[in-house]
Amino acid sequence: MQGDATGPKRAIRSLPLVVAGLVTLAGCISVEAPDKPIVIELNINIRQEVIYRLAEDAGNTIEENAEIF
C-alpha cells in the first residue's frame, strides 16, 4: 500500500505542485504589454546636482559661442 503511488494519495501529494503551476500561470497571464509606447528617458543617470553645478558654466559657454546656439 505504501509503495502504491496511484489513486487519491498521489493526487493529494501533487496538489502543491499543481497549485504552484497555476499561480505561475496566473502570474504570466497578468503580465500585459502596455498600450502606450514605452518612453525611455535618456541620460536618466545624470543627477540634478551635476546639472546645477554646470549651469553657470554652460550659460557662459552659450554666450561665448552665440553663433552656434
Partner 1 sequence: MGSVVKGSGMNRDLVRKMALAAAGFALAAGGLAGTAHAQRDPAYEAARESGKVGEKMDGYLGIVGASTPELQRMVNDINIKRRAVYAQKAQAANATLEEYALTAGCIAIARTKPGEKYQAPDGSWQTRTSAPPQRDSRCPA
- On whether the CB atoms of residues 43 and 36 are closer than 8 A, the answer is no
- Residue 35 or 41 with smaller CB distance to partner 1: 41
Q: How far is the CB of 35 from partner 1 (least distance, A)?
A: 16
Provide, rounded to whole angstroms, the least separation between the CB of residue 32 and partner 1.
22
Q: Report the interface residues with partner 1, using CB under 8 A.
A: 39, 41-43, 46-48, 50-55, 57-59, 61-69
Cell of 53: 553645478
Tell how far CA 12 is from the center of its chain: 36
Min dist CB 48 to partner 1, Å, is: 4
C-alpha to C-alpha distance for 40 and 29, rounded to whole angstroms:
25
